[in-house]
Every structure is written in structure tokens, then in C-alpha cells.
Amino acid sequence: MWGWARTIAGTTSSTIGDRCFTLPPLKCLISPNILPEDKNCIRRLIVNRFDFSTSRNNMVRLLKKMGIKDELVLKAMGKVKRHLFVPKSGRFWFGSDPYGDYPLPIGFGQTVSQPFIVAYMLEKLKLTAGEKVLEIGAGSGYLAAVLDEMGVEVYTVEIIEELAVTAGKRLGESVHIRTGDGYNGWPEQAPFDAVVVSCAPDSIPDALTKQLTVNGRMILPVGTTHQRLVRVVKTNGKIELHNDLAVRFVPMFHWIES
């Protein structure tokens, strides 16, 4: 089944799984002057082939060079097909590499974070398989997919319903997703061993801190114009805050009661 298709200058590009193909103009396929067994036409059926698995491997190598060492994170990001989490309206259609180290738009003014930031945040959480993790800001579902590949139990909240629905279809039943206000977390499923926030609140939401286990940890961007990653670490219920990288995330939305 075709994953996607586009038409540029009379050609059509499509993906099947990990491979991208550029097909010849339709007139080449239906022209009465070209026989089906014409080797030249058949050869043109698969040109400019691009193997996304190679791109993932290159991405992982770059992450290692940038200092990422957590093998669980690296292996997961080497398996998750990031190109499937970039929608048709994203920059990918205009020549961007879905595995390049930069954020990509996913619609509704939102983005999927650059691979390094995803890897960095997950590495800082020091996750182990089987832990229970809450994500705030599902977006396209990419980070949740990486968490799922890491073998943790994933709960993710997305305030934009259209994104939540689309992400849910991509992720399948192994990831728990719902539409909701991320400021409230997911109290019915608390406590969580870790929380990762993919959008920036003005300050650390109290509800998220309270939903951590007694030895839980959280990482999130905090701020408006100037943002910084903050790590929240609970040790026997006592909270410690650690400032980290300067970053730039989309703002965290809050539902306003009518």
C-alpha cells in the first residue's frame, strides 16, 4: 500500500515502508508506443530510490557524535520510522530530510522536535523498560513511538483533538492517548515514574509534579521568550530542580473554562 504520493514536474514519488520511489510520467506507462517489456521504461519505474533505514542509521551516528550515549534511546530512535510522523503539509514535501536534526511542522502551529532534543530529554530521564511514563504534548506521536519502542508503558496527552486522533492511529493500541489539558496531566493513571513535556509552560505545573512517584523524574522546557530545559527529580518525595539546556519549544496551551 502506498504510504504517500506527490506529483512534481510530471513525476510521482511514493513510499512503501522504508523506501521512496520516483515514478515516470503517467504517459510513459500508458503510451501505446512503449511495450510493457521495454527495459528502459521498466528501469525508470524505480529511480532516485531513497532508503530511509540508511537515514535513520545516519541520524543515530550523528546523535552519538553529539554526545548521546543511552543505548536504549539510540536503539529505539534507530527503529522508529520518523518519516511516517511528518504529515503531507510538513516541510518534508519541499525537500527537507525527515531525519535531519531540526524540528518539522506538523500543522496547527505545532512541530515535531529535532532528533537531538528528543534523544537528550529521554536520556536525561534514565528510563528502563517497564516503567510508566507520561508525555504531555503528543503532537504527531513521534516521541511516544520512541518511548513505546524503549519498552516503557506510555500515556500521552494532546490538547489539539485533530492531532490526538491522528497520532492515535499511527501509534496503535500499545500507547494510551487522550485529548486533554496537559497542565492537568493524567491523574486517573498516576503516579508515573517519569514525565516528559514536549511544549513549554510558563512555570512547572504543580499537577505534573504531584503525579510523579516518590522517586520520579520529569523533564520539560519552561519559559516564554527565553526557555530552558528543567529536570525535576524526586528523591523520597523531596523535589530538586536542575536547569539544563537553553531551548525553543512551542508554548503549552491551557484550556479556559467557559
Reduce the DSSP state of residue 46 to 3 states and report it.
coil
Measured at the CA of 212, the angle between CA 211 and CA 218, to 5 degrees, comes to 115
Contact 175, 148 (CB under 8 A): yes
- 238: β partners: 235
As given in the structure block, the three cell numbers for residue 156 are: 500521552
Compute φ and ψ for 25, nearest 5 degrees: -55, 150
Instruction: Report how far apart the first and last C-alpha atoms of the chain are (Å, whole number).
Output: 45
14 has catalytic annotation: no
As given in the structure block, the three cell numbers for residue 6 are: 506527490
Nearest residue to 176 via CA among 196, 157, 198? 157
Nearest residue to 162 via CA among 138, 186, 144, 146? 138
Say how far apart CA 194 and CA 171 lie, in whole Å: 20
Q: Which of 55, 113, 140, 198 is catalytic?
A: 113
Residue whose C-alpha cell is 526557555 = 227
Say how far apart CA 230 and CA 228 lie, in whole Å: 6
Say how far apart CA 46 and CA 4 lie, in whole Å: 15
As given in the structure block, the three cell numbers for residue 117 are: 532534543
Reduce the DSSP state of residue 28 to 3 states and report it.
helix
Contact 117, 143 (CB under 8 A): no
Which positions are catalytic? Answer: 113
